[in-house]
Amino acid sequence: MHPLTGSEPAGLISVDFFLSDPNNLFILAAAVVSGLMLLWPALTRARGGAAISATQAVQLVNQRQAVIVDVRDAQQYAAAHIAQARNVPLAEIEQKASSLPKNKPLVVVCDHGRDSAKAAAKLKQLGHAEVFTLEGGLRGWVQGGLPLAGKKA
């Protein structure tokens, strides 16, 4: 409403009119929820460290001497793992984090890529500046056609 004339400006729709219709509220709620669902992966990934592909991980190891940290349990690690990876099980990440270098990038790996985000967030919290997660975990590594070491390799 215009303060001097007391009438609505031509061409503008009142917010009250929009919010008074339940269908409009439903559409607005659906838009907000879908927007949050689209943002969720980006928000959760940012906490745990940037996700990188297997190719990017190899480049990071070759160019910047990154350390690959396998957070799966010892049995899974013994069965198959990325060559030169250090096994630091997720349950022990807090106790063993001090054995990892803080001056090199860390690439955290798990089986599917889910647990690595938790480990990466913890490593960042403990003072490791450059922490990345491997997209798809060890399965992403294998799908990229890269070799494994261990009993099943």
The per-residue pLDDT for 36 is 84
The per-residue pLDDT for 16 is 67
pLDDT in tens, the chain (153 residues): 555 556 655 555 566 666 677 787 788 888 888 888 887 666 555 455 688 999 999 999 999 999 999 999 999 999 999 999 999 999 999 999 999 999 999 999 999 878 898 999 999 999 998 999 999 999 999 998 999 998 665
The per-residue pLDDT for 23 is 80
The per-residue pLDDT for 1 is 57
Residue-by-residue DSSP string for the chain: --TTT-SPPTT---HHHHHHSHHHHHHHHHHHHHHHHHHHHHHHHHHH-EEE-HHHHHHHHHHH--EEEE-S-HHHHHHSB-TT-EE--GGGHHHHGGGS-SSS-EEEE-SSSSHHHHHHHHHHHTT-S-EEEETTHHHHHHHTT---BSS--
Active site residues: 110
CATH superfamily of this structure's domain 49-143: Rhodanese-like domain (3.40.250.10)
Whether the CB-CB separation of 115 and 90 falls below 8 Å is answered with yes
Q: Enumerate the domain spans of the chain.
A: 15-45, 49-143
